Amino acid sequence: MKVGILIFNEVEVLDFAGPFEVFSLAEALDRTKIFDVKLVGQTLQTIKARNGMQVVPDCSFEDHPRFDIIIISGGYGAEEIEINNPVMIEWISKQYSNVKIMASVCTGAFLLAKAGLLQNRKATTHWMDLDRLENDFENIEVIRGVKYVDQGKVITSGGISAGINMSFYLIKKLAGADIANNTARRMEYDIII
């Protein structure tokens, strides 16, 4: 399965790096990789993430493969910059019809909401931004105190490290509990799926 993780300037590092690590390490029992993970940027220009980390996308909006899963990262760049970028919002909206799962980490939920993908759905985001999500997008039922919310094709997760929990959940959903647990054990991540 192909996984695309959306990155942009001022993206929160763990929002993309956590899911990247989880999906990249997931293997079938015969040790073959289950997921092919790519970082996607609007262009191929170097991204300056939060706190100065520089990252180069693997592919751009113009040259990416067809993804089965797209993960929308969060951070200041999502909630304050990219939410006002019509190219970004249109790309997210367009990709929705092509994927099996569209997921967000942290304030990446704001980009899903802006694209109209959370209308009349339950969703969550970083605890500091729950009220804003609720106030800015009245047709979303905001869920508090959870790591992630599964609405079928759309899954949202809470802040920063919750994207790792959501990634293990997705692996369990798509590949089974044994693979999810083996991946968690390999990462020495204290989670029982």
Distances (CA, A) of 80 to 62, 65, 146, 187: 24, 28, 24, 32
**Tokens 């939920």 identify what position?**
109
Q: Let me know: does 148 contact 157? Beta carbons within 8 Å.
A: yes
The total number of structural domains that make up the chain: 1
In a domain, 193, yes or no: no
In a domain, 168, yes or no: yes
In a domain, 129, yes or no: yes
Q: Containing H/E element for 78?
A: none
Measured at the CA of 28, the angle between CA 22 and CA 32, to 5 degrees, comes to 90
- List, run by run, the mean pLDDT of 10-residue segments along the chain (193 residues): 98 97 94 96 97 97 97 97 98 97 98 98 97 96 97 96 96 94 89 64
In a domain, 6, yes or no: yes
φ/ψ (deg, to 5) at 173: -65, -40
Reported pTM: 0.95
φ/ψ (deg, to 5) at 152: 85, -105
Q: How far is CA 56 from the centre of its chain?
A: 17
Tell me the residue type at 153. Answer: K
Give me the CATH number covering residue 153: 3.40.50.880
Residues involved in catalysis: 106
In a domain, 33, yes or no: yes
User: What pLDDT is recorded for position 193?
Assistant: 61
In a domain, 59, yes or no: yes
In a domain, 139, yes or no: yes
Which residues constitute the domain of residue 72? 2-186
In a domain, 192, yes or no: no
User: What pLDDT is recorded for position 29?
Assistant: 85
